[in-house]
Amino acid sequence: MPRPVLSLMLVVFGLTTGEFVIAGILPEVSADLAVSIPAAGRLVTAYALGMIIGAPLVTTVTARVPRRPLITGLITVSVLGNLASALAPGYGVLLASRFAAGLVVATFFAIAIATSVSMAPAGREASTVAKVALGMNLGIVLGTPIGTFVGQHLGWRSTFAAIAAFTVMALALVLRYVPAGPPAATGSVRGELRVFAGRDVQLAIALTAVGNVGVVTVFTYIAPLLTDVSGFTEDAVPVLLLVYGAGAVIGNLLGGRLADRALMPSLTGLLAALAVVLGLFWAAAESRALTATFTFAIGALAFAIIPGMQTRVLATAGAAPTLAVAVNAAGFQVAAAFAGWLGGRVIADGPGLRSLPLTGALLTAAGLAIAVHSLRRDRRPAKTRSQSPTLDM
């Protein structure tokens, strides 16, 4: 892996660990702050809302800032947000800290994707995106289990402090190896925003948001699912998160290669497989052996769809790729925010924790419908697409 791509990947690893580690330490946070599990789950929602708001706002405001000072500033905000989380005296401050930490993540992720793609060989864009996104996988396969272990043995505050320290070290590598570059945009803000008027861009962002909400709903509450439904001990949770992450690494790399060969057909097939596996996870949730198997499969499929979704946005938003990728990352966080809220409602006021995987399967099927529509749209002549917008979603 080229050193610039590797250094960007390591920052993504730190940011992703900061986002998802809450799933592993949810019981510790809940007990220490004397709040319910659904309330602790809303910490995921707060981080996601930060990304949703920050994606268009921060990316637009900083579009004319040169790459090096922009990267430094974005990561500094994230580090401060994680340090504030570690020192938070109560639930309200922790909620605000998670929101602040999430504000800059989408913009950094967009810069990382756009920078890596600009260095990629022709025809290997999705594979290069997969290498950067490998940081997300490793945040699951290594960061989240390690963070969970640290949180269980040294306290959840130590987890956020460790994430802040690692991210500072990763920033040093980015500043050493990633070449300085010009601002992401040189035209008007209105011109940048005009890209979102395109129906293909709208569908690509909708695909990310809807296609991910089901599996994120399941992952947000994976710790109580594993302990309260499947009967695993708390000590087994980091190991099973490692299993999930191992699947994520394999799925990410495979998904990038599939997307290079056939973008929308591969995305459609992967979403269909994810819906089926989530349904099987629901049916077999009380079997520990099958639960472990499906945990691996869900991790693989959940991350196999990400390189293709990012590449789809880049392919449809050539005029403003950084802003489009940032908003697409926000689309993923719309899924995360909705997932945290929805999962809490299903647990507290609906059919209960046991039904979450089935809920995830049904939501993934909705994302599959968008993928099928986009695939059919691609196969129509370009002239027909432009002349018949009323036929679109």
> 123 and 143 in contact (C-beta within 8 Å)?
no
| Token pair 């049916």: residue | 283
pLDDT one-digit tens code per residue, 293-341: 999 999 999 989 988 888 888 778 766 667 777 777 777 777 777 887 8
pLDDT at 305: 92
Residue 284, CB-side half-sphere exposure with 13 Å CA sphere? 15
pLDDT at 390: 38
* Residue 183 within a domain: yes
pLDDT one-digit tens code per residue, 156-213: 999 999 999 999 999 999 888 887 766 655 555 566 677 777 888 889 888 988 998 8
First to last CA, the chain: 40
> 218 and 225 in contact (C-beta within 8 Å)?
yes
For residue 181, give the CATH number of its domain: 1.20.1250.20
pLDDT at 391: 34
* Residue 21 within a domain: yes
Tell me the DSSP string of 357-368.
HHHHHHHHHHHH
pLDDT at 283: 92
Q: What is the mean pLDDT of residues 221-225?
A: 87
Most confident of 125-139, 141-155, 184-198, 322-336: 141-155
pLDDT at 385: 54
Q: Does position 131 have pLDDT exceeding 90, yes or no? A: no
| Token pair 């006021």: residue | 349
Q: What percent of the chain has pLDDT over 70?
A: 90
* Residue 344 within a domain: yes
Distance CA 350, CA 253 (A): 37
| Token pair 């099987």: residue | 280
pLDDT one-digit tens code per residue, 28-48: 888 888 888 778 878 877 887
> 214 and 361 in contact (C-beta within 8 Å)?
yes
Helix H or strand E encompassing 352: none
What is the count of structural domains for the chain? Answer: 1
pLDDT at 23: 75
Residue 307, CB-side half-sphere exposure with 13 Å CA sphere? 35
| Token pair 């659904």: residue | 38
Q: In whole angstroms, how far apart are CA 247 and each of 94, 171, 299?
A: 31, 27, 5
Distance CA 10, CA 133 (A): 10
- Which residues form the domain of 151? 3-378
pLDDT at 252: 85
Give this prediction's pTM. Answer: 0.72
* Residue 94 within a domain: yes
* Residue 46 within a domain: yes
* Residue 392 within a domain: no
* Residue 154 within a domain: yes
Secondary structure of residue 392 in the 3-state scheme:
coil
Tell me the DSSP string of 252-270.
HHHHHHHHHH-HHHHHHHH
pLDDT at 133: 78
Q: In whole angstroms, how far apart are CA 177 and each of 15, 68, 233?
A: 19, 11, 43
pLDDT at 358: 93
Q: What is the CA radius of gyration of the chain?
A: 20
* Residue 203 within a domain: yes
pLDDT at 357: 92
Token readout for 40 is 């602790």
Please state, rounded to an integer, the average pLDDT across all residues of the chain. 84
pLDDT one-digit tens code per residue, 346-392: 888 888 888 899 999 999 999 999 999 999 988 876 555 554 443 34
pLDDT one-digit tens code per residue, 43-101: 877 887 888 888 888 888 887 788 788 888 999 999 999 999 999 999 999 999 999 99
